[in-house]
Amino acid sequence: MWIAELSRQTEVPVATIKFYLREGLLTAGESVGATRARYDDAHVRRLRLIRALVGAGGLSLARVRGVLSAVDEETRELHDVLGTAHGALIPETIEASPESLQKVDELLTDHGWLVDENAPDRALLASALDALEKVGYQLDSTLLDTYLVAAEQVGNADVAHLPTDDRAHTVESTVIVTALGGPVLLALRRLAQQNASARRYGAVRGRPCP
């Protein structure tokens, strides 16, 4: 396909595609002349991945380049690629108290989770616990365990649902579900809270959606 068709399929402007080509985020197409090139489905998938990371993921081009580098390194384990995607989506500087970090470590150990001790999400969770405590709300162990069990089910389902037809597709899907899955979970959680509230308090507007 020509660049115009690539633009139509991905809904990425031609000028943006050319920018990604210049920046090395998108590989060049097959040259068929001095100024023309053909593109294929691999370019479609890569553009959609970049769009997910830059748009919904809100990543800088520098961070996108780091994720794509991990994606393209064929000898790299998929588990490491997932970790790279996680790290790119997290603020570079995270402040967390030693007490909350210890609480997180104990929680993960108690549930037997295999998590890298340097995983940035470990510090992010501890920081979130600190933020709750600062406003006078502390998650008790029962509720925190409930969150963990629910998160484990979601994480297991995410990984099990990844395609296995080829490595490139698997890696791209891994990064996309990492970048875009959060808003889905957040929306579902809020909807679940509305449902639970309606059932508990008997809200007049609490009825099944059509």
Each residue's pLDDT tens digit, 133-173: 999 988 888 899 999 999 999 989 988 888 777 777 777 78
- The reported pLDDT for the residue numbered 151 is 92
Question: How many domains does the structure of the chain reveal?
Answer: 1
The answer as to whether 95 is a domain residue is yes
Cβ neighbourhood burial of 129 (10 Å; 0-12, 13-18, 19+): buried
From the CA atom positions of the chain, what is the Rg in Å?
A: 21
- The reported pLDDT for the residue numbered 56 is 66
The answer as to whether 141 is a domain residue is yes
The answer as to whether 14 is a domain residue is no
* Confidence bin at 74 (pLDDT 50/70/90): confident
The answer as to whether 102 is a domain residue is yes
Cα–Cα distance measured from residue 134 to residue 131, given in angstroms and rounded to the nearest whole number: 5
Confirm if 185 and 154 have CB atoms less than 8 A apart: yes
Cα–Cα distance measured from residue 92 to residue 69, given in angstroms and rounded to the nearest whole number: 18
For residue 207, pLDDT beyond 60: no
Q: What are 81-108's pLDDT values in tens digits?
A: 777 777 777 777 788 999 999 999 999 9
The answer as to whether 155 is a domain residue is yes
State which residues form the domain around 129: 76-195
The answer as to whether 1 is a domain residue is no
